[in-house]
Amino acid sequence: MTSHASGDGRVLLIGFDLGHGETAICTAWSESRDEPRVAALPRSGKGSGKSYPTAVALLTGPSQQHPTRTVIGGACFARRPRERVLEFYSTFKSADLEDGGRTQRAVELFVAHVVRELIGLSETDDAPHDVIVISADTPTRWLFGTPSGWSLQQREAYRDLLAGLCPGEVEVLPESRAALLYGRESRDLPNPLDLLEGDTVARLTSVVIDLGSSTADYTIVTGLSAHPDTGNNALGASLIDRELMRRSGEDHDDRDRLLEALEVPGSRAHLEYQCRLLKEQFFTDVDPLEPDLTTSRRTVEVKTSAGERIDVDIRLTSDVLDDITNAPLTALNGASWREAFRDDLERVKAKLDDEGPDLVMMTGGASRMHFAQDIAREVFGESRVVLGAEPEYAIAKGLVIAGRTRTRVEGFRKDLKDFAASGRIESIVDEKLPELAGTLGTVMTENIVEEHVIPAVLRWRTGELDLVSDIETEVARTRENYLSSRAFRSRVESEAEDWSKRVSALVDTRTAEICRTWDIPPGALSLSRPFVPRSASPVGSYSDLAVENLNTIGKAAVGAVAYVAGVIGMVAVGVSLNPVGAAVAAVVGVVVLVIAAVRGKEEAMRYARTRPMPGLLRKLVSERHLLGKIRAKTAEDSTEETAAAEFATTFLSEQRDEIIRLVGATVREHLETAARYTELLIQPEEGPVAHE
């Protein structure tokens, strides 16, 4: 016997896989990394191991002090006088709680009994080792699964019902999510599954096939979202049990008396249950390479309404199984079990792209049937069809893992929230902003002399411009055209993107530490190397945000450049920071040398600036000498460098606060979105439904 008690703030997670046909329960502590443990309940009936039929019976009690008692699982199928059975329910899980009260009543009886067994049982030395005992004061979180196709309203109603039966917190979440989490973390699967490790899950297309005794549930998981199929509520392994029972009755020596006995509900339920146990034994014992060598058989005693006993011999071989699963069944509208299952999988496959799924995971006890595995492999070709060593516990273990994941997510969320609120993002941007300002200043002013001033001087020298002062106007015009061009914008975007990568790398260093603390792949939150889900994934908006995040940060800088240019003027940026002024001064200086001797230096200066010059005078000094003087003057004064520095100063003065605000908000938005999809590997839009 194992006792669960906690005084250290930990929460005991209880994965309660209340299936339509069978039930399993697993437990683990919220802070533990151990494999979830399968819980066996006492008095749930023999022969079922640690999973048991979803069945509950209310019986007359042994005394007036105990007028009634409840039994669950295989114990419900024991042979009892009819008058002792007050209520009996099996295969009762349903999204419809308004079905006359049957489902609600059955769930109440079943779950309440399990809770009493787990929490109210006294510890004794002779109790089985696998029996779980939970102290009454232990903090608990009960995690139940539902088919992916249940609506949010149905899950909320189911949660509300369960919350009144279980002490502690109750959470309801899709079974498909539990299956994928089981595949990612459970040690039951190979390695565990490499395909579900790290950020590859965001690009994965999976199919989860949950085969139970009463239903088959199919879910397509694309990227980070689940898309439930309608499933098949008629296709369950119990059809095989019933057909085996029918054939055993047809072949019986005392057929008529046996069929009469099976009219008694308890006798029929008992024989069908024994057929199920025999089938499970067959698939446990059979060698898939030599199935013909395996024969499972047992003799079952059935009582008539008069209390007479009839022995029924049940026998299952590979040939009998093939015959049963290939026979047309009324419950399947004349299709055989194999045909119906294959048709279901073909329908699921048709909803996928031509490449098919990356992974097919089979869960549920019925997935042990080797022929079902073979059909799945035939339909999905080379895709990976996998199931754990104990597929009947996959959902229960996955539910526990989902609860443990939530604990990690809560810690992860808190650390991320604290980081976002700490101001560290803004500090990083502030520290790196002078680099951006200096780079953009260089982009704004570099090559003004060669690409704008000198061409304007040459136009003046050839007479295309009248006055020396027209050089300044011409440079302003060509410079404004350049600053409005796509080439200039591309250059600014490129420099801003390089800067944003350096900022992102610093942010990534801190978020990677947070991810490692909570065993989350660092790449999931990366700004500089975002992972990209499949384009077909419904979370493409997250992919767009991640991929464009660097551009968004860069665009903040580009927009700031335009803003600053508007404030100080395109002409001011390109001209008044004085590379043009130096060029005009050089031209005037040359002209003054020519005419100063005739009219005096002061008159020469005034003439040079305000009067058109004859072409001969303009060309009196060689082009080489004139341009050399301009280049020497601008180099001596460091005019381009000075202009760049002044632009950087203006840029920081006007835009520092706005860029810090905008980039900080962009980074936080990215981290929030990335965290939302990272924390829940499989999550329909409405998320898990919890009740505290």
How, if at all, do strands 309-317 and 295-303 pair? antiparallel
Say if residues 401 and 376 touch (Cβ distance below 8 Å).
no
User: Is the confidence at residue 412, as pLDDT, over 50?
Assistant: yes
H-type helices in 186-286, by residue range?
Answer: 238-250, 255-261, 265-285
pLDDT in tens, 178-207: 887 787 776 666 544 455 454 555 567 888
Helices 579-599, 623-637: inter-axial angle, 10-degree rounding: 130
Same-domain status, 558 and 471? yes
Return the bridge partners of 384, or none.
Answer: 359
- Measured between alpha carbons, how far is 290 from 449 in angstroms, rounded to an integer? 88
User: Is the confidence at residue 647, as pLDDT, over 50?
Assistant: yes
- Across residues 360-369, what is the average pLDDT? 88
Tokens 């395109």 locate to: 570
Q: Is the pTM of this model over 0.85?
A: no
User: Is the confidence at residue 591, as pLDDT, over 60?
Assistant: no
| Domain presence at residue 689 | no
Residue 439 or residue 583, greater confidence: 439
pLDDT in tens, 459-512: 888 888 887 778 778 888 888 888 778 888 888 878 887 888 888 888 888 888
User: Is the confidence at residue 658, as pLDDT, over 90?
Assistant: no
Tokens of residue 641, six digits = 């460098």
- Measured between alpha carbons, how far is 280 from 321 in angstroms, rounded to an integer? 12
Share of the chain above pLDDT 70, in %: 74
CB atoms within 10 A of CB 364: 31
Same-domain status, 495 and 637? yes
Same-domain status, 379 and 458? no
Task: Give the residue from 177, 199, 223 where a domain finishes.
Answer: 177
- Across residues 15-42, what is the average pLDDT? 85
Task: Give the residue from 177, 198, 228 where a domain finishes.
Answer: 177
pLDDT in tens, 332-344: 999 999 999 999 9
**Is the sign of the CA dihedral 42, 404, 365, 369 positive or negative?**
negative
pLDDT of residue 540: 32
Same-domain status, 259 and 111? no
Q: Please state which of the ranges 304-308, 579-583, 666-670 shows the lowest mean pLDDT.
A: 579-583
Same-domain status, 561 and 430? yes
Q: What is the CATH number of the domain that holds 135?
A: 3.30.420.40
- Across residues 320-349, what is the average pLDDT? 94
- Measured between alpha carbons, how far is 457 from 590 in angstroms, rounded to an integer? 13
Within its chain, how far is the Cα of 368 from the centroid? 28
Q: Please state which of the ranges 365-379, 381-395, 603-617 shows the lowest mean pLDDT.
A: 603-617
pLDDT of residue 18: 92
Q: Please state which of the ranges 82-96, 133-147, 428-442, 602-616 shows the lowest mean pLDDT.
A: 602-616
Q: How confident is the model at residue 321 (pLDDT cuts 50, 70, 90)?
A: very high
Distance of CA 661 to CAs 544, 556, 656, Å? Answer: 22, 10, 9
- Measured between alpha carbons, how far is 23 from 14 in angstroms, rounded to an integer? 13
Residues sharing a CB contact under 8 Å with residue 225, sequence separation 6 or more, in sequence order: 537, 538, 539, 682, 683, 684, 685
Helices 579-599, 601-610: inter-axial angle, 10-degree rounding: 130
| Domain presence at residue 400 | no
| Domain presence at residue 103 | yes
pLDDT in tens, 668-682: 887 777 776 665 543
Say if residues 3 and 123 touch (Cβ distance below 8 Å).
yes
Same-domain status, 22 and 126? yes
- Measured between alpha carbons, how far is 194 from 216 in angstroms, rounded to an integer? 26
Say if residues 206 and 358 touch (Cβ distance below 8 Å).
yes
Range of the domain at 314: 237-387
| Domain presence at residue 81 | yes
- Measured between alpha carbons, how far is 328 from 514 in angstroms, rounded to an integer? 57
Helices 623-637, 639-679: inter-axial angle, 10-degree rounding: 60
- Across residues 303-317, what is the average pLDDT? 85
pLDDT of residue 160: 94
Q: How confident is the model at residue 137 (pLDDT cuts 50, 70, 90)?
A: confident
Return the bridge partners of 385, or none.
Answer: 360
Whether the upstream peptide bond of residue 192 has omega within 30° of 0, thus cis, is: yes
pLDDT of residue 192: 40
Tokens of residue 67, six digits = 């007028």
Q: Please state which of the ranges 239-248, 306-315, 323-332, 336-345 shows the lowest mean pLDDT.
A: 306-315
Residue 665 or residue 132, greater confidence: 665
Mean pLDDT of all residues in the chain? Answer: 76
Q: Please state which of the ranges 23-37, 242-256, 362-376, 570-584 shows the lowest mean pLDDT.
A: 570-584
Share of the chain above pLDDT 90, in %: 17
pLDDT of residue 79: 74
Q: How confident is the model at residue 541 (pLDDT cuts 50, 70, 90)?
A: very low
- Across residues 142-167, what is the average pLDDT? 90
| Domain presence at residue 218 | no
User: Is the confidence at residue 592, as pLDDT, over 70?
Assistant: no
Tokens of residue 14, six digits = 């209880």
Residues sharing a CB contact under 8 Å with residue 323, sequence separation 6 or more, in sequence order: none
pLDDT of residue 578: 47
pLDDT of residue 596: 52
Phi, psi of 62 (to 5 degrees): -80, -15
Same-domain status, 441 and 383? no
Distance of CA 514 to CAs 3, 271, 414, Å? Answer: 34, 57, 10
User: Is the confidence at residue 283, as pLDDT, over 80?
Assistant: yes
User: Is the confidence at residue 215, as pLDDT, over 70?
Assistant: yes
Which amino acid is it at 58?
L
> H or E stretch including 301?
strand 295-303
Q: How confident is the model at residue 560 (pLDDT cuts 50, 70, 90)?
A: low
- Measured between alpha carbons, how far is 365 from 375 in angstroms, rounded to an integer? 16
- Start-to-end C-alpha separation, the chain: 29
| Domain presence at residue 358 | yes
Say if residues 281 and 296 touch (Cβ distance below 8 Å).
yes
| Domain presence at residue 203 | no
CB atoms within 10 A of CB 355: 9
Task: Give the residue from 362, 387, 412 where a domain finishes.
Answer: 387
Number of folded domains in the chain?
Answer: 3
pLDDT in tens, 68-117: 999 998 888 877 777 888 999 888 888 888 878 899 999 999 999 999 88
Same-domain status, 460 and 370? no
pLDDT of residue 164: 93
Length of the chain: 692
3-state class (DSSP) for residue 304:
coil
User: Is the confidence at residue 568, as pLDDT, over 50?
Assistant: no
Same-domain status, 364 and 456? no
DSSP secondary structure letter of residue 131: B
Same-domain status, 252 and 122? no
Q: Which one of 20-34, 66-80, 310-324, 441-455 scores highest in mean pLDDT?
A: 310-324
Same-domain status, 650 and 570? yes
Say if residues 45 and 277 touch (Cβ distance below 8 Å).
no
| Domain presence at residue 307 | yes
pLDDT of residue 131: 47
- Measured between alpha carbons, how far is 171 from 178 in angstroms, rounded to an integer? 12
Tokens of residue 115, six digits = 């809770």
Say if residues 56 and 113 touch (Cβ distance below 8 Å).
yes
> H or E stretch including 53?
strand 51-53
Same-domain status, 436 and 382? no
3-state class (DSSP) for residue 171:
strand
